Amino acid sequence: MNKKDLITEIAERTGVAQKDVGTVLEGFQNVIESELQNEGKIQLIGFGSFETKTRSAHMGINPKTGQQILIPETRVPMFKAGKRLKEALK
């Protein structure tokens, strides 16, 4: 499912116009991005939480040359599924 399909599905299930759903979804994405940039965390009880994790620097191998390279420390986004979401997948 892509973004357009998601907007259509939400609009059908809620009776809200697709344009309005698209605006809300865009706002949702912007809030998550902004909060994670500021090293915050967003928790949606039952669904899951969004946060960042720092991946430490480590050695890797360049697949083209086989040479070892240093991969620098970086922050990555993480999503941890909540209890209700996990149970829905069983």
pLDDT value at residue 53: 95
33-88 per-position pLDDT tens digit: 999 999 999 999 999 999 999 999 999 999 999 999 999 999 999 999 999 999 99
pLDDT value at residue 71: 95
- The answer to whether the pTM exceeds 0.75 is yes
| Average pLDDT of span 4-32 | 97
Phi-psi region at 15: left, alpha or beta (left = phi > 0; alpha = psi -120 to 50): left
3-state SS, the chain, equals CCHHHHHHHHHHHHCCCHHHHHHHHHHHHHHHHHHHHCCCCEEECCCEEEEEEEECCEEEECCCCCCEEEECCEEEEEEEECHHHHHHCC
- Among positive and negative, which fits the CA dihedral 74, 41, 27, 12? positive
Catalogue all structural domains in the chain, each as residue range(s) with its CATH number: 3-88 (4.10.520.10)
